């Protein structure tokens, strides 16, 4: 039996550089295999091991993981030949822009207002903005809290016309050119169509 154990350890040492790697690397390798193509492009693993063995881990004989929660269990083969059950979390995180200060409605978001924070994928909803370029230059619609992800419905393109604001109406058709004062019936950003009432005809 001792000869078999020694032979097993010898074979493991000869199998390649993946063995004797730090335990976090071994866990990430197995976790990536479990996620396969569903792993986000910018996703990185944050590994937490509960009761990590003091001895060197040669390999993981078995590995079980729930991709939704990131919780895993594994049988770690130690350099002593013993097998120890370990557990923990292998959370996939993604970079997300978050405010560094409280931003109020009508504020224009600048690059200095943002920081990049890695958050677990499970905390990133369908409406969370993950690209800082989609946030910079936008106008705040709802209060943004420091360190919290930004929802798509919380920002808008900067308004250039506010509802109720006085505007000038121009019409030109060849030699004919007309102008009249008007009032905006809606808020609007650049390039957006808007309803206007003519203050002369009240239409």
Q: Are 183 and 167 in contact (CB under 8 A)?
A: yes
Quote the CA–CA distance of 116 and 129 in Å, as a whole number: 12
The separation between CA 197 and the C-alpha centre of its own chain, rounded to angstroms, equals 43
Which residues, given as ranges, of the chain have pLDDT below 50? 1-19
Domain residue ranges of the chain, discontinuous segments joined by +: 2-93, 94-159, 161-198
Whole-model pTM: value is: 0.67
pLDDT value, residue 11: 41
What is the four-CA torsion angle of 47, 48, 53, 58, rounded to 10 degrees? -10
Q: Are 152 and 104 in contact (CB under 8 A)?
A: no
The CATH class of 94-159 is alpha beta
């Amino acid at each position: 039996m001792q000869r078999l154990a020694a032979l097993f350890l010898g074979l493991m040492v000869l199998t390649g550089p993946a063995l004797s790697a730090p335990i976090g690397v071994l866990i990430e390798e197995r976790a990536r295999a479990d996620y396969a193509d569903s792993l986000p492009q910018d996703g990185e693993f944050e590994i937490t091991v509960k009761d990590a063995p003091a001895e060197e881990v040669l390999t993981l004989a078995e590995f079980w993981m729930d991709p939704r929660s990131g919780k895993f269990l594994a049988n770690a083969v130690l350099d002593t030949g013993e097998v120890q059950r370990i557990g923990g979390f292998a959370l996939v995180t993604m970079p997300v822009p978050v405010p560094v200060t409280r931003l109020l409605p009508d504020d224009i978001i600048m690059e200095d207002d943002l920081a990049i924070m890695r958050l677990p994928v499970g905390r990133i909803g369908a409406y969370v903005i993950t690209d800082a370029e989609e946030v910079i230059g936008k106008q705040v619609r709802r209060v943004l809290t420091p360190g919290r992800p930004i929802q798509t419905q919380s920002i808008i393109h900067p308004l250039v016309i506010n509802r109720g604001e006085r505007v000038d109406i121009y019409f030109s058709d060849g030699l004919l050119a007309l102008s009249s004062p008007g009032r905006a019936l809606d808020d609007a950003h650049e390039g957006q169509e808007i309803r206007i009432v003519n203050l002369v005809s009240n239409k």
